[in-house]
Amino acid sequence: MYSNGYIFRYASIMVILVAAILSAAAMLLKPAQQRNEDVDKMQSILAAAGLRDVPVKDAIQVFNKSVTDMIVIDKNGSVVDDYKDDNKQQSRAFKINLKDELYKKSIGKDYELALYVIENDGEKIYIVPLRGVGLWGPIWGNIALKSDFKTVIGVTFGHKSETPGLGAEIETINFQNQFPGKLIFDENGNFTSVRVVKGGIANIPVANQIHAVDAVSGGTITSNGTSEMLKNVLESYVPYFKKQG
């Protein structure tokens, strides 16, 4: 029979060994995990600008070639950093944690935001990263604008745990294909964002339909969260957009 002391020492050693192995494995896997996160982020940014279906193996190369500027702006819309070199995943803009910056905004602190610029057929496309809250957790994405800073070229959305067949539909092409051509400013230059309308845009005035899309059927809270995400994030960029006019 083993003594209680022996059993305790054996168990302690095993716990320490397992913890050490798991810690070492986590450290070894961290670079690969970070690379996968970076690639997914790059693919989403490219897709919003119309460069969909970029293979994983080509994502970093295509991103570095397609993205010409990585801009950081402050709350006043002033540019505080503009990165144009290769290896753009190392730029200050790419590393900004949007969740943290939006929290700073919510409590009245200074914050910084990223803006990605892609040149396609001689026209500059500006991609704004998005972050918000759905029904069960965070939602995110990107929205690409023409150089007039009001016309939507495309969007991508993602989520952590929205309901399949309902709120999760924000991730589908059918939902996202409603956004190209929509406007985030009205004819007088007032910021409108793009609303996600429960019941469909057929139920709102025709003049407002250019600023709205149909909500996800059965996904009211996620749709509302997407609307709020677009409004909250895009209005943060309005000072910069106004300075470019």
Residue 168, Cβ density class (10 Å: 0-12 exposed, 13-18 middle, ≥19 buried)? buried
Per-residue pLDDT at 29 exceeds 60: no
**Inter-residue contact 222 to 170 (CB < 8 Å):** yes
**Inter-residue contact 195 to 182 (CB < 8 Å):** no
Per-residue pLDDT at 178 exceeds 80: yes
Tokens matching residue 92: 């200050």
Tell me the backbone φ, ψ of residue 96, rounded to 5 degrees: -60, 130
| Sign of the torsion angle spanned by Cα atoms 119, 122, 125, 126 | positive
Kindly report the average pLDDT of the chain as a whole number.
Answer: 90
| Rg of the chain taking only CA atoms, in angstroms | 22
End-to-end CA distance of the chain: 83
Count Cα neighbours of 156 within 13 Å in the Cβ-side half-sphere.
Answer: 20
d(CA 221, CA 227): 10
pLDDT digits (tens, 9 = 90+) for 122-146: 889 999 999 999 989 999 999 999 9
Each domain of the chain, given as residue ranges in start order, spans 34-244
Which DSSP letter does residue 125 get?
E
Q: Which of 181, 219, 178 is nearest to 199 (CA)?
A: 219
pLDDT digits (tens, 9 = 90+) for 38-51: 999 999 999 999 99
Count Cα neighbours of 158 within 13 Å in the Cβ-side half-sphere.
Answer: 14
Confidence of residue 167 (pLDDT cuts 50, 70, 90): confident
Per-residue pLDDT at 11 exceeds 90: no
Confidence of residue 105 (pLDDT cuts 50, 70, 90): very high
C-alpha torsion angle, residues 235, 210, 150, 65 (rounded to 10) = 110
d(CA 199, CA 43): 31
d(CA 156, CA 52): 10
Count Cα neighbours of 14 within 13 Å in the Cβ-side half-sphere.
Answer: 6
More confident residue, 26 or 237: 237
Continuous segment of H or E residues that includes residue 158: strand 152-159
% residues pLDDT > 70 (the chain): 89
d(CA 190, CA 150): 10
